Amino acid sequence: RKEVEQDPGPFNVPEGATVAFNCTYSNSASQSFFWYRQDCRKEPKLLMSVYSSGNEDGRFTAQLNRASQYISLLIRDSKLSDSATYLCVVTDSGTYKYIFGTGTRLKVLA
């Protein structure tokens, strides 16, 4: 089993739609979680951290479920500019090395 797993997609959604991605992780001792956004042929950029109580940043909501070992990202009112690959990141519990999922590709259609 991979340490961090994501559905590769692509998720094709119309503008204005709500879309959610999940990411599962295998190490129950993982302590920190992030969502990154990566545009085609560019470097990943931090979208948001994921806190135990869940957190929101504008149209984006992140949730953590430690019991089931997954994190989620919800995007409301999708924009064309949201089209990108979304990477789930989990930290190694001892060294804080970051372990990346392979990413979920989102295409928002006009």
Partner 1 sequence: DGGITQSPKYLFRKEGQNVTLSCEQNLNHDAMYWYRQDPGQGLRLIYYSQIVNDFQKGDIAEGYSVSREKKESFPLTVTSAQKNPTAFYLCASRTTGQGAYGYTFGSGTRLTVV
Where on the chain is the footprint of partner 1 (CB under 8 A)? 4, 8, 31-32, 34, 36, 41-46, 49, 87, 91, 95-98, 100-103
Tell me the closest approach of the beta carbon of residue 42 to partner 1, in angstroms.
7
Tell me the closest approach of the beta carbon of residue 91 to partner 1, in angstroms.
5
Ranges assigned E (strand) in the chain: 4-6, 11-14, 19-25, 33-38, 45-50, 55-57, 60-65, 70-75, 84-91, 98-100, 104-109
**Residue 32, SS3?**
coil
Tell me the closest approach of the beta carbon of residue 69 to partner 1, in angstroms.
17
Smaller CB separation from partner 1, 42 or 79: 42
Between CA 56 and CA 8 the distance in angstroms is 23
Looking at the DSSP assignment, which residues form a beta bridge with residue 52? none
Smaller CB separation from partner 1, 55 or 102: 102
Tell me the closest approach of the beta carbon of residue 98 to partner 1, in angstroms.
6
